[in-house]
């Protein structure tokens, strides 16, 4: 079975309800993807840093209960995870507010345990990270992270990069553009959205991708339902059904990524993997919060050939 590492940050999640009360959970883009990958049957570990507080312990217990491996999670004494608040409008579009400047995940690639973690990356077949992952570490931390990815890739690992871009996570856009460029140049699979690319590069998404035309497998998610796939020089459009009863778009892209990568590692061709991604994302947006009830998960057939 393909071994997958998801790298990033999980935070305490507060969702503001219509009555003004708050519901607490946990979430983070790559963690959401890890949970959905595990629910689909993938072998996935989450790589991050947490504190030694009660919330960190609760997170670890929740991840393990979902089937997400947590043996690579580093613990920093005296620290606590970050926190974010989700507010949604009448159309289900979300707005995030963050309290995360001292979160332990930000130090993942600049502590004593970092070299061992970088060595461990080589044991995975697929490494998944996002634009939010890149925003965590600062320039020195990102350089160390990219060095680790290069070593893992030289050893046979494949890299999947998701262009989640949150402007508030970056001191300026030029820095973000350079970091995204380094990630796209390394990616074997790039999961991009036109919204992210156009917000970051301030030009049409396809123009922004021109310098990275050698990406082996590109998924370009469009603002209208559907995506464009570019793989082996072939472009295919895969439409998605419109969803009339959207409740919350949180984790729509994260769940798409999970189903897409799960299908691809199971041998599905890219168009079938995109359809799986659309189906899971279309279910997730019908529920509040990042992680839907387990009983709401759609059923998928597993592709027979191993990849």
What is the residue whose two structure tokens read 């690992």? 157
Q: Residue 89: inside a domain, yes or no?
A: no
Q: Residue 133: inside a domain, yes or no?
A: yes
At residue 131, the pLDDT reads 98
Q: Which of 107, 140, 254, 272 is catalytic?
A: 254
Q: How many domains does the chain have?
A: 1
Q: Residue 66: inside a domain, yes or no?
A: yes
**Residue 57: CATH number of its domain:** 3.40.1190.20
At residue 303, the pLDDT reads 58
Q: Residue 277: inside a domain, yes or no?
A: yes
- Told to judge if 254 belongs to the known catalytic residues of this protein, a careful annotator would answer yes
Task: Name the pTM for this structure.
Answer: 0.93
At residue 34, the pLDDT reads 98
d(CA 85, CA 87): 7
At residue 307, the pLDDT reads 36
At residue 263, the pLDDT reads 97
At residue 140, the pLDDT reads 97
Q: Residue 149: inside a domain, yes or no?
A: yes
Per-residue pLDDT tens listing for the chain (307 residues): 899 999 999 999 888 888 889 988 888 999 999 999 999 999 999 999 999 999 999 999 999 999 999 999 999 999 999 998 888 787 767 787 888 889 999 999 999 999 999 999 999 999 999 999 999 999 999 999 999 999 999 999 999 999 999 998 999 999 999 999 999 999 999 999 999 999 999 999 999 999 987 899 999 999 889 999 999 889 999 999 999 899 888 899 999 999 999 999 999 999 999 999 999 999 999 998 789 999 999 998 765 433 3
Q: Residue 98: inside a domain, yes or no?
A: no
Per the DSSP assignment, residues forming a β-bridge with 130 are: 162
Q: Residue 227: inside a domain, yes or no?
A: yes
Q: Give the DSSP letter of residue 214.
A: T
In which domain, by residue range, is 153 found? Answer: 3-10+29-81+103-296
At residue 304, the pLDDT reads 42
Q: What is 129-162 written as a DSSP string?
A: EEHHHHHTSHHHHHHHHHHHHHHHHHTT-EEEEE
Q: Residue 95: inside a domain, yes or no?
A: no
């Amino acid at each position: 079975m393909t071994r997958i590492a998801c790298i990033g940050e999980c935070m305490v999640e507060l969702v503001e309800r219509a009555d003004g009360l708050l519901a607490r959970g946990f979430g983070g883009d790559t963690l959401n993807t890890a949970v959905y990958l595990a629910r689909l049957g993938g072998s996935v570990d989450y790589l991050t840093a947490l504190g030694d507080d009660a919330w960190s312990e609760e997170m670890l217990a929740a991840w393990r209960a979902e089937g997400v491996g947590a043996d690579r999670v580093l613990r920093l004494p005296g620290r606590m995870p970050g926190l974010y608040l989700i507010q949604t409008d009448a159309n289900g579009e979300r707005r995030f507010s963050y309290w995360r400047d001292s979160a332990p995940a930000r130090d993942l690639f600049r502590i004593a345990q970092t070299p061992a973690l970088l060595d461990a990356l080589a044991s995975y077949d697929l490494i998944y990270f996002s634009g939010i992952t890149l925003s965590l570490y600062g320039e020195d931390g990102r350089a160390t992270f990219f060095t680790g990815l290069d070593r893992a890739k030289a050893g046979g690992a494949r890299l999947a990069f998701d262009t989640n871009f949150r402007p508030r996570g970056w001191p300026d856009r030029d820095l973000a553009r350079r970091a995204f460029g380094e990630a796209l140049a390394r990616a074997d699979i790039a999961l991009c959205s036109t919204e992210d690319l156009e917000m970051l590069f301030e030009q049409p998404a396809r123009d922004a991708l021109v310098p990275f035309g050698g990406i082996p497998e590109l998924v370009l998610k469009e603002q209208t339902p559907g995506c464009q796939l570019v793989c082996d020089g072939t472009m295919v459009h895969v439409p998605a059904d419109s969803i009339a009863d959207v409740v919350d778009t949180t984790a729509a892209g994260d769940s798409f990524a999970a189903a897409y990568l799960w299908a691809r590692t199971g041998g599905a061709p890219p168009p079938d993997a995109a359809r799986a991604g659309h189906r899971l994302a279309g279910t997730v947006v019908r529920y509040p919060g990042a992680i839907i009830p387990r009983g709401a998960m759609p059923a998928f057939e597993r592709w027979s050939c191993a990849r």
